[in-house]
Every structure is written in structure tokens, then in C-alpha cells.
Homo-oligomer: A and B are copies of this chain.
């Protein structure tokens, strides 16, 4: 919905990066495309750029709407716009679709120039470190030497952390929201069940479903249904759905009975038509692999030794996917390095999804932090 505080109509842009990318997997991508959007204006000092990193199912379309699709509001439109918490009257905000995605950047559905067919199962595994490398290339393309802010929630927050480690000179502030420094066994377990649902779908064809003119919809639907359970809190599900029945009485069958079943199946069906299964696999692997402390024998404080950025770390009380405990571990590691970090745990009943939602205290905190940034 277009409002006066919206960036309004936006147009995606493409860049072809002709420089080979040496991925952590060992594979080399000779060149690749990135789709991105920008909102606001880059100032003459080029000191007001804000990079927004998306999470598992996100993309470059962070704010505003497309001219031909009035209901195509960007996923963080409530956060980014003129006079919003991330104010496009002051900042030049960039959203980019990560490599391996399915919204325009090179990914499994893209044509591999070497074969003339979609990469499919041949698309290499990509990591958060790889993504930050590509985002650096985009920054170069846009003439940005230093980001005022790199921001993201969940997997996007992990990218913000990685920026401060890999390019300490090129990021002044990191907004790390509902994130973690690594996934736990339980996190990985949920991701693996989601992956197995996709991979064992008989229409997956080892990732080459494009050749068979089909999609592993069943598996992707299950993956999304499961994901949704982890994004919502027990309490918010109870409050929103409880044990309400669609028809008011038991049907004694296996079709939709409870409202929560209806909701999850609807979300699953919708997602299965909109997202690419191979991309989903890649995104969950990037989540599983992220572990900056790993090269320091698990010592997260050691990992942040070279970081120079200032940090705002935020977590939400009902988030059980990446609980506040995870954010506090990040904060501790930063404090161990006497890094300037602000931290707040925001009271919210909406679970992990809270980072995407309107919350007055949350948005005021981000606004205050952003307003204090000198550009």
C-alpha cells in the first residue's frame, strides 16, 4: 500500500560483475549478475550509503512498490522510506539480491553460459562470506568506498557481522537484528528436515526439475510450513489460532480442520509457487555454515578483534529461532574488544518474525541510532 512515507514506485537495476569470484567451496564463478534497488540519493561525500542484506526468503526489493503491481510492497517498507526509521531523505539505501537467489541475481534457475541450461543442481554452495564479496563488488560499482551502515535481520544480520570482519574499513555501523553468530544443532536440524523434504520430492530430479518442466512443490511447501512454525512464537500462535476449527466441529478426516493448519498450508502453497527450491536449499546451507568463530577455535571474541565498526544489536523476547541469548553472545564478544555496541532486547510476542514487523519501540530505537549517525 502506497503511503506518503513510502519511497513510492521503484525500479530494479542490474549489474554484471565480470570479475571472477573464488567461492569458499573452491568453485570459481567467472562472472555473475546482481539485481539491486536503491532508494534515496547518494550524497556528494558518498558517506550516506546503507546496505540492506536480506534473509532466507528475502530479496533486493526492500521498499516501495513496482509500477505495475500495487501490492508489491518491499519486505522492509515499514522500516525504510522518507522519514522512516531508516530515512531515505538522509540515506542512500541499497537492497541487493544475493547470489543463489531467485529474484534476478545469478542463481540455480539462471542459465549457465557454459552449458546453455539452468545451473540447477550445479549451482555451487554459497556462503555468507561469498555474499559479502559480491556486495563489495556492488559497492565498487556504485562508487561507495565505505558504507555508513550495513543492516539486516536473521541471515541478513549475519551478513552485517561478516562485513565488519572482512571489510573493517568499509563499514562504519552494523545493524545486527534477530541474528546469531552460528546456528545450533536444533537450528540445523530444522533446516535439514526442510532440505530433505525438498530433495526427496519426486519432482526434484536432483535439482534439475527445470528440464522436466515441473517443480518440487510438495517439498518446498513442507519446508515453508515448517519454517513458519519456527518464525512464530508458541504464544503468538496460541493467541492468533489457538485450537479454533475452520468449521466449528471435528471433521474426523485429514483435510484442514484447525485454523493453524489452514494458515500453514496457505503459506506453504503460496511460497511453493513463488520461490525456487534450489535457492531455498542454498539459503539454508549458508545459514548452517555461518560460524565466524570457527577459525578461532570457537572464540568469538577473537573473531571480532579486527572489527572497527560500531554496532546496534537487537533481539526479540519471543524469538526462539535466534533467541536473545544469541545476540548477547555477540554483544559480549564485541565488548571484549571494547567495540562500541548498543544492545536492546525488544519485548514482542511475534517470535523470529518480529524483525520484519511494525513495533514502535523497535523502530524508535533504530531511528534514534540512525539519526545519530554523522554523514
Contact = CB atoms under 8 A, between A and B. Distances in A.
Nearest to A197: B222
Interface in A199-245: 199-202, 218, 221-222, 225-226, 228-229, 232, 234, 237-238, 240-243
A145 to B, nearest CB: 32
Interface stretch (A40-48, A161-169, A177-185, A357-365): A177-185
A268 B189 CA distance: 12
Interface residues of A, number: 54
A112 interface: no
Contacts of A329: none
B237 A184 contact: yes
Contacts of A268: 196
A81 interface: no
Most chain B C-beta atoms within 10 Å of own C-beta, residue among A225, A232, A254:
A254
**Copies of chain A in the complex:** 2
26 contacts: A26-B252, A125-B252, A125-B253, A184-B242, A184-B243, A185-B234, A185-B240, A185-B241, A185-B242, A186-B237, A188-B243, A189-B228, A189-B261, A189-B264, A192-B261, A192-B264, A193-B222, A193-B264, A196-B221, A196-B225, A196-B265, A197-B197, A202-B202, A226-B226, A243-B291, A254-B281
Given A125-B253, A202-B202, 19 more contacts: A124-B252, A125-B252, A184-B243, A185-B238, A185-B242, A186-B229, A186-B234, A188-B258, A188-B260, A189-B264, A190-B229, A192-B260, A193-B264, A196-B222, A196-B265, A197-B197, A201-B218, A202-B218, A243-B291
